[in-house]
Homo-oligomer: A and B are copies of this chain.
Amino acid sequence: MAPSIAVENLNPKVLKCEYAVRGEIVIHAQRLQQQLQNQPGSLPFDELCRPPFLFLPSQILYCNIGNPQSLGQQPVTFFREVLALCDHPCLLEKEETKSLFSADAISRAKQILATIPGRATGAYSHSQGIKGLRDAIAAGISTRDGFPANADDIFITDGASPGVHMMMQLLIRNEKDGILCPIPQYPLYSASIALHGGALVPYYLDEKTGWGLEISDLKKQLEDARSKGIDVRALVVINPGNPTGQVLAEDNQCDIVKFCKNEGLILLADEVYQENIYVDNKKFNSFKKIARSMGYGEDDLPLVSFQSVSKGYYGECGKRGGYMEITGFSAPVREQIYKVASVNLCSNITGQILASLVMNPPKVGDESYASYKAEKDGILQSLARRAKALEDAFNNLEGISCNKAEGAMYLFPQIRLPQKAIEAAKAANKAPDAFYALRLLESTGIVVVPGSGFGQVPGTWHIRCTILPQEEKIPAVITRFKAFHEAFMAEYRD
């Protein structure tokens, strides 16, 4: 028999899909990490691990992905106390527990267990998630927005990604169904659209105006796609932006909502960075709040908001929790969404509990409030300082310009690469920014993602770098990056 499975006879949609944040460069980094383990000192950046350049023991610094706890961020104590108690409810009956856990964590765990049928944290739940936890999430959304939210509209998911996949699966029939996505975009969207065989319809964020979202460009791209026979189903907006870090202004959001209503588009709002705002003159507004403030109700606009426990100040990526809030969909369509959710039975209960906690953290008066507030503020203030330090450092380097990270967890500097570097990249069969990122990795152990993985205006080159290395390591990162960049430019300067 011929080989029953070979790359040539795999699903071509799988072959087409790309996911840069865990792509070639990360696989190469893992190889280098292995090499360092087997032959310490065999790579030039080994010195990074010695004072004053104190990196992680792994010696590779992963700035490719928004994974705060992998770089040393500590989880919020209150959340973890509640999770531990829900994992092992017998603890609640023991006297010693009172000295090990805060009183409000104990009462919250009891309250959560009471909403779980049979207190069974090991049972499949309702396919949308445990009703009591969805009630808590809806209450958190109402408090945030000042408009009501409904537990029936909440689908708790294993992080935001499965929610995005579910919507793409629902909407995309064939390659003539299009989804408007920002460029640059988070590659989950391009990957998911490729896996489901649809068309990514790009609209460009304007780098010169701090990654502004122009309705005129949206309209132009929509009309262009329609003229090619693409049935554009939905608009993806990532706010705060990933990889671009901008926070949308309220009037801009109003225009986007109006645009979706007028054009009959579903608004897919990626709002996973809603807690990550680093500037005083901007604040997060959910698209649902904006739409309701404009007087638009359910019937005016189908809207999906994605939220995740992986981001914010919580950064609980490994717990895989999140939700999507779905409004403005007809009952028969919601039944189909429920059916798809039910094929995977339910999302993990630990993640479900955590999603309810991040939407309902301790309040003034609770025993944990002061420590919770200190942990939260400490993390967010430090992230703001790190973002600013890295942004300034990038802007001080030859040929690099970097917009402010108003929010999210990334900087996306543009690097004007010399022609000689572009030619060297071509000779190495790499995109120029991938070539730059690989050289950076090999010289410094710092892992960033080439802009080509996110999309960028043709002829421009970027990298995405998280702002997540521990604050005390930022000076070393900057020194090292600067040394690499100067050497690179010296080698390739035209």
A residues at B contact (CB < 8 Å): 1-7, 9-12, 14-15, 17-19, 22-23, 30, 56, 58, 65, 67-72, 75, 77, 80-81, 83-85, 87-88, 90-91, 94, 96-97, 99-100, 117-118, 120-127, 158-159, 161-162, 165, 169-173, 188, 191-192, 195-196, 233-234, 262-266, 302, 310, 315-320, 329-330, 332-333, 336, 339-340, 342-351
Contacts and interface: CB of A to CB of B under 8 A. Distances in A.
B345 A348 contact: no
A332 B123 CA distance: 38
Contact of A17 (B3, B23, B340, B351): B340
B120 A69 contact: yes
Contacts of A14: 169-170, 336, 339-340
Given A124-B318, A233-B4, A344-B161, A91 B84 contact: yes
A315 B117 CA distance: 16
B75 A122 contact: yes
A124 B70 contact: yes
A6 B81 CA distance: 44
Contacts of A319: 122, 348-350
Contacts of A100: 91, 94, 96-97, 100
Interface centre among A5, A69, A196 (most CB of B within 10 A): A5
Interface centre among A4, A18, A351 (most CB of B within 10 A): A4
4 closest Cβ pairs, A-B complex: A1-B264, A70-B123, A84-B88, A318-B349
A121 B318 contact: yes
10 contacts: A6-B333, A14-B336, A19-B343, A30-B126, A70-B124, A84-B85, A91-B100, A169-B195, A191-B343, A318-B349
Contact of A158 (B158, B195, B302): B158
A266 B336 contact: no
B158 A348 contact: yes
Contacts of A2: 264
A17 to B, nearest CB: 7
A122 B69 contact: yes
A348 B308 CA distance: 13
Contact of A345 (B122, B126, B159, B233): B159
A351 B158 CA distance: 12
Contact of A4 (B97, B162, B265): B265
Given A4-B265, A77-B90, A83-B88, A171 B11 contact: yes
B336 A123 contact: no
A350 B172 CA distance: 33
Given A11-B173, A80-B88, A348-B158, A5 B318 contact: no
A120 B318 contact: yes
A17 B343 contact: yes
A224 to B, nearest CB: 18
A173 B6 CA distance: 13
A162 B72 CA distance: 30
Contacts of A84: 84-85, 87-88, 91
B19 A333 contact: no
A172 B196 CA distance: 12
A85 to B, nearest CB: 7
A118 B69 contact: yes
Given A5-B302, A170-B10, A320 B336 contact: no
A122 B344 contact: no
Contact of A330 (B3, B22, B127, B171): B3
Given A4-B264, A121-B318, A320-B348, 5 more contacts: A5-B171, A22-B127, A84-B84, A120-B318, A192-B343
Contacts of A11: 169-173, 196
Q: Which of A67, A126, A158, A266 has the most CB of B within 10 A?
A: A158
A126 B27 CA distance: 10
Nearest to A72: B118
Contacts of A67: 123-124
A469 B264 CA distance: 49
Given A99-B96, A343-B161, A117 B58 contact: yes
